[in-house]
Chains A and B, each alone.
Chain A
Amino acid sequence: TQLLEQSPQFLSIQEGENLTVYCNSSSVFSSLQWYRQEPGEGPVLLVTVVTGGEVKKLKRLTFQFGDARKDSSLHITAAQPGDTGLYLCAGSMNRDDKIIFGKGTRLHILP
């Protein structure tokens, strides 16, 4: 059973379009993290959200943690080819627990 479900699995859109990817669970998480991974490299942390309803912005990326702390979304405005990569969500159910990763959304922005 996958505790963190990410959707869509793949997304290919034109440069300049907006997009949203999702990370969902039936369990409550104490915190969720989003990572981006580029080919041949390890994942790199983008953001951590810890409070239900929290919204964080990182330039054109907006991250939201659901009110019930069971889901999160990543919205990209005016996507650019440099946004291409694998986006992973990860979370822990308790503060001292190890982190669980979703399977990721592979995003491809066409120039």
Chain B
Amino acid sequence: NAGVTQTPKFQVLKTGQSMTLQCAQDMNHNSMYWYRQDPGMGLRLIYYSASEGTTDKGEVPNGYNVSRLNKREFSLRLESAAPSQTSVYFCASSFPVSNQPQHFGDGTRLSIL
């Protein structure tokens, strides 16, 4: 039972390059989330998807796009990477009710040079 799987685990990009972070969950959760975690800033929500076919902006969506490919998969795309997007990115999933736990992947450590 893998839970939430994120790929890749590490990535280094040059400014202006694009890439997609992948996330898949095997818990049959409806809701999926993308966060970034920066020192002293905590977890900030980038985008979330309450159910298959829907996506909504979170607190810091600029510079990112997402795709909810199916119930299992939720990808995050950086079209033109900037140094300010250097961060650790976490994907999470949960049942749609807010008091249900969020299950997190182990993160993608992304550096933009």
List residues of chain A with CB under 8 Å of any chain B CB: 30-31, 33, 40-45, 48, 50, 88, 90, 92, 94-99, 101-104
A76 and B82 alpha carbons, distance in the complex (Å): 41
List residues of chain B with CB under 8 Å of any chain A CB: 4, 33, 35, 40-45, 48, 58, 90, 92, 96-107
Question: Hey, which chain B residues are within 8 Å of A99, CB to CB?
Answer: 98, 102
- Write the chain B residue with the least CB distance to A6: B42
A42 and B109 alpha carbons, distance in the complex (Å): 12
**Contacts A50-B99, A95-B97, A98-B33 hold; do A43 and B104 have CB atoms under 8 A apart?**
yes
Question: Hey, which chain A residues are within 8 Å of B92, CB to CB?
Answer: 42
A111 and B40 alpha carbons, distance in the complex (Å): 26
In the complex, the answer to whether A31 meets B99 with C-beta atoms within 8 Å is yes
**Contacts A42-B92, A42-B104 hold; do A92 and B99 have CB atoms under 8 A apart?**
yes
A97 to chain B: closest CB distance in Å? Answer: 5
A99 and B41 alpha carbons, distance in the complex (Å): 16
From B41, B48, B96, B106, contact of A42 by CB (8 A): B106
A96 and B42 alpha carbons, distance in the complex (Å): 22
- Write the chain A residue with the least CB distance to B99: A31
B34 to chain A: closest CB distance in Å? Answer: 12
- Write the chain A residue with the least CB distance to B104: A42
A101 and B99 alpha carbons, distance in the complex (Å): 13
- Write the chain A residue with the least CB distance to B59: A100
In the complex, the answer to whether B43 meets A101 with C-beta atoms within 8 Å is yes
In the complex, the answer to whether A98 meets B40 with C-beta atoms within 8 Å is no
* Listed A/B pairs (21) with beta-carbon separation below 8 Å: A30-B98, A30-B99, A41-B106, A41-B107, A42-B4, A42-B90, A42-B104, A43-B90, A43-B104, A45-B102, A45-B103, A90-B43, A94-B98, A95-B98, A97-B98, A98-B45, A98-B48, A101-B43, A102-B42, A103-B40, A104-B42
From A30, A40, A94, contact of B106 by CB (8 A): A40
- Write the chain A residue with the least CB distance to B45: A98
In the complex, the answer to whether B101 meets A103 with C-beta atoms within 8 Å is no
Question: Hey, which chain B residues are within 8 Å of A96, CB to CB?
Answer: 96-98
